[in-house]
Amino acid sequence: MKYEELANDILAHVGGKENVRSLAHCVTRLRFKLVDESKADTEYLKKREGVITVIQSGGQYQVVIGNHVPDVYAAVNTVGGLNGGETKAEDEGPKGSLLNQFIDMISKIFQPILGALAATGMLKGLAAILVAAGMSTTDGTYVLIQAAGDGFFNFLPIFLAYTASKHFKMNSFTAMAVAAAMVYPGLVNPAEIEPLYTLFAGSIFESPIYMTFLGLPVIMMSYASSVVPILLATYLGSKVESVLKKIIPDVVKLFLVPFCTLLIVVPLTILFVGPVSTWVATLIGALVSWVYNLSPIVAGAILGGGWQVFVMFGLHWGFIPIAINNLATQGYDQLLATTLGVSFAQIGVVLAIMLKTKEAKVKQLSIPAFISGLFGVTEPAIYGITLPMKRPFQLSCIAGAISGAFAGLFKLTGYRVGGLGVFALPSYIDPNGAVGFNFWAAIIVCAVGFVVGFLLMFFSKVPVLYGETETVVPEFTTSPEEGTKKDVSAAAEKDLIASPMTGEMVLLSDVPDEAFATAALGKGIAVLPTIGKVYAPANATVSLLFPTQHAIGLTTENGTEILIHIGMDTVQLEGKGFTSNVKQGDKVLAGQLLMEFDIEFIQNAGYEVITPIIVTNSNDYLDVITTKESQLSQGDYLLSVIA
């Protein structure tokens, strides 16, 4: 048996037959479900000849093999006696720590909005610069620029609802409706109205009640710019929606499922998610205030180190009332002053990553993340770079803790509610206008956060985020020895490949699957289709047609091997939503209709339709050049291979 040795080795290093719950395969990879993933030797398998890489995602341990995966799959079944890959049913094994699961979830949910997040953060910074330069906040120029930047952040829960719905497999527009209710202006404390009564009056959990729902008190708070509450709401909504789909008749599902989902989820979110986060935040705020009175240095380290985490979970709201009360009663606040250096710690880490990383995309994201972070808008840096990398985020928290300890040491004092980042510094000038020690202490705290963050990251290994390293494009010049000019357009052989579908061009590195994004399976490009049809990109032979019809392999007349993989993890649909118009072995002409697929059905089932189109024998060529056009129609130029 050709792959017996490889099959035995793979089986041994996934923890043995007894650790395999089930085994399936798609067009490129073995998909194991393991009893305990920690028993698998991932690093060994990644380096093992015959294995391209290993991906752990969605409860599956995926060993990426390549085009000959069916043969390896059969060999693993044979040597392991897995009876077609299925073993006895058991509860799913662990999927990693809760923290890692949370970070991975956050990273995937934020990935689609990173560009807009970075851009709007820079716009907020630009608006702050205009005000600092003397422009009035009522000036139309400022108002429009501020709206362009702040609008995205204010309604961030709605954008997150869309991406989270994909992750939790909930109807996207129902999830967005839940988020819209959360940021609805009428659900924020109305300052001009007297409360009906006060809940827990006299305690640290004191909460004014302005309205009730079926007699239950509604504790109102702002969800603008929040992250975790909408994620919890979407997760809850996905579970409620799943149950409703099973019990509501098909004839009325279209409107009754979202109706009942909203009727259940919105009240539960407002009644319970809000109060719990409010009370937890209040308790944390009270504890930190108590610690500050005992030791400003310790409190500063705790608040500076944990501030970014508090903001992520919305727990920072517990500190805001304390700070505002301090300003109102004392004319100054020292509690929130301990967080001044946190954003500088974050951008110090980002700058070190930008200088050290070999990934072109990370460099590209780092620049706007650094700029917006300079003005206190650190979301692009956190969610786009440091949090997905994990270790850099931890280092930024350590740097924030050290800067907070310095703020406590200096008893740094804020005299007014000011801006963020560099625009927070004027808040530390004495009320009489004198630039005294307190202002210079604020400068030192920012510098400490920045320098410590930079140094911690600079002397640490930068984790690989996307797996795409910078490449040097070879230059073809005249060779004196040969007396000939090696020119790509003249001497190099090419195979031109047209776009097999209509849609939006997506860089391969942006595909939400490591095996494709890292080009482990071959170089290429991806398309986010708007029409569910796949056409032959060149004259070719159908060399592979997967039984579930979600992927097709073609070999062109010039020998280029093309894989068109419709969607992510769509093998799980088992052919539903896909129709093939050809069979394996057929010869097809460029422009011939190969396959049809139902975009709406696939998306409603919770799967991405983004379609990688890769050259699986890329190593046989000098390079693969892809189109720069953002919008593609079927038949447009897509890529070319250079021999």
pLDDT at 80: 82
Q: Are 25 and 60 in contact (CB under 8 A)?
A: no
pLDDT at 189: 64
CA distance 587 to 417: 70
Pick the closest to residue 527 from 549, 546, 501, 545 (CA basis).
501
pLDDT in tens, 239-277: 999 999 999 988 888 899 999 999 999 999 999 877 787
Residue listed under structure tokens 């560009």: 115
pLDDT at 500: 94
pLDDT at 316: 67
pLDDT at 56: 78
Please list the active-site residues: 26, 565
Cα 494–Cα 499–Cα 502 angle in degrees, nearest 5: 170
If you ran DSSP here, which 8-state letter would residue 359 be given?
B
Instruction: Point out which residues pair with 534 in neighbouring strands.
Output: 595
Q: Return the CATH fold of 4-96.
A: Gyrase A; domain 2 (3.30.1360)
Domain boundaries, the chain: 4-96, 491-642
pLDDT at 66: 75
Instruction: Point out which residues pair with 498 in neighbouring strands.
Output: 637
Q: Are 446 and 379 in contact (CB under 8 A)?
A: no
pLDDT at 489: 38
CA distance 112 to 128: 26
Q: Are 186 and 223 in contact (CB under 8 A)?
A: no
Cβ neighbours around 201 below 10 Å, total: 10
| pLDDT < 70 positions in the chain | 1, 27, 57-58, 67, 83-104, 107, 111, 114, 118, 121, 125, 132, 189-192, 204, 278, 281-282, 285, 313-318, 320-321, 324-325, 327-329, 417-419, 433-434, 466-494, 643
pLDDT at 448: 96
Cβ neighbours around 138 below 10 Å, total: 7
pLDDT at 527: 94
pLDDT at 302: 92
Cβ neighbours around 42 below 10 Å, total: 17
pLDDT in tens, 407-440: 999 999 988 766 678 878 888 888 776 678 999 9
pLDDT at 5: 86
pLDDT at 352: 95
Q: What is the CATH number of domain 491-642?
A: 2.70.70.10
pLDDT at 536: 92
pLDDT at 58: 61
Q: Which residues of 600-617 are buried (b: 16+ CB within 10 A; e: fewer)?
A: eebbeebbbbbbbbbbbb
